[in-house]
Amino acid sequence: MRDGAQYLSLDSIDGSARLIVRGEWVLANYQAIERAIHAFLAQAGHASSAKQRRLPSALQVSGIDLSGLAAVDTAGAAQLARLIGPAHLSELLSQQDGLPAERLALLAAVAAAEPEAEPPGAPIPAWRELLGRIGMSVEHIWQLIVALLGFMGLTLEALGRNLFRPDRWRITAVVAQVEQSGLNAVPIVALLTFMVGAVIAFLGATVLADFGATIYTVTLVGFSFLREFAVLLTAILIAGRTASAYTAQLGSMKANQEIDAIRMMGLSPIDLLVVPRIIALLIAMPALTFVGMVSGIVGGMLVCAVALDISPSMFLTIFQRDIALRHFFLGMAKAPIFAYLIAIIGCLEGFKVRGSAQSVGEHTTSAVVQSIFVVILIDALAALFYMEMGW
């Protein structure tokens, strides 16, 4: 084994293998040591182990001679640990007597820090990997549900505890959050619902014209916006706009350890940061939903006036005659539920941030996706409930 003899060799006595290490195992000789290890293993007749830079089980040594080791640093110690195996190297080092204490300590520290290599196994079939990923996804969803329910309990407890204590109401924080999440969102909510209302009227007019029932476009627009579209579109916009803002704000505070500082001062982050945001969204969401209803109906009215020769006065007369007031209340009843869910999801994801910009971005994206999914799910369940109740 001439190629690797400069750094290591194997001495077999009475059936036991003893690895002899010599030379300078330092960073400057890293490539030379790698070539020596490769040549040592290849000439021993173990090509697969040479590729892995690891002694095979057939060559596991029972002893190691480090007396010829002239110098060693962490790079060389890591190469030796990978060759022998971290656990086996730690065991062999306990048998060394003549090596200086500082070198023994360095080798032991590197062996303890070096991860144990996994033995190569058989390739995993695709169907097993697919089932494993499905299982991991189900487990992740279950953990999200448990965390959300637990956080919901904390927020409800905080709301109930502070409800009858006006001295703990944070009016300024609530008003500021209402402005950010409510007033500043009025233009985008009004514009989007206006355009969707116009599109619904166009579609209704196109389809109903084949049956000579274009007059029912008024009923279609009013019914759809009072019960579904206004609150759903508003909730989706708020999920993308406000839930992400809540997560980014709380996540940045978590990354800067401001939340830890709040706890150190004996204050509750739930009372101080979460409750004002929940109350603000509970106030802003119904108001924005009402704006969405009005804007969508106005968009439908404009299309009816331009394309169907239905004047605004006729539109309002048909609307008042055919659309019951209960549809308005059924749509508005979902707004506080959506507001509460969006607020707690955004705040919960903010508290999950782990102190890096990447974590803030990941949890902000997660908050938006979860909020939109929950909003659509609850809206579908509410629609089924309304249908079964005959409302």
Q: Sign of the C-alpha dihedral, residues 359, 360, 361, 364? A: positive
3-state secondary structure of 320: helix
Q: Which pLDDT score, from 0 to 100, does residue 27 have?
A: 84
Distance of alpha carbon 350 from alpha carbon 159, whole angstroms: 19
Closest-CA residue to 292 (of 157, 167, 194, 182): 194
Q: What is the pLDDT of residues 217-263, one digit of tens each?
A: 888 888 889 988 999 999 999 998 899 999 998 888 888 888 888 88
Q: How far is CA 263 from CA 267, 287, 343, 351, in A?
A: 5, 34, 21, 13
- DSSP letter at 124 equals P
Q: 291 and 178 in contact (C-beta within 8 Å)?
A: no
Q: How far is CA 173 from CA 160, 313, 330, in A?
A: 18, 43, 30
- Name the token pair of 333: 């009843």
Q: If DSSP states are collapsed to H, E and C, what string results for 346-384?
A: HHHHHHCCCCCHHHHHHHHHHHHHHHHHHHHHHHHHHHH
Q: Which pLDDT score, from 0 to 100, does residue 57 have?
A: 43
Q: Which pLDDT score, from 0 to 100, does residue 13 have?
A: 61
Mean pLDDT, the chain, whole residue set: 83
Q: 70 and 41 in contact (C-beta within 8 Å)?
A: no
Residue 390 has pLDDT above 50, yes or no: yes
Label residues 162-176 b or e (16+ Cβ within 10 Å = b): beeeeeeebeebbee
Distance of alpha carbon 375 from alpha carbon 377, whole angstroms: 5
Instruction: Name which of 133-147, 198-212, 232-246, 268-282 the model is least confident about.
Output: 198-212
The DSSP-derived string for 49-62 is: HHHHTS--GGG--S
Distance of alpha carbon 63 from alpha carbon 340, whole angstroms: 66
User: Amino acid identity of 125?
Assistant: P
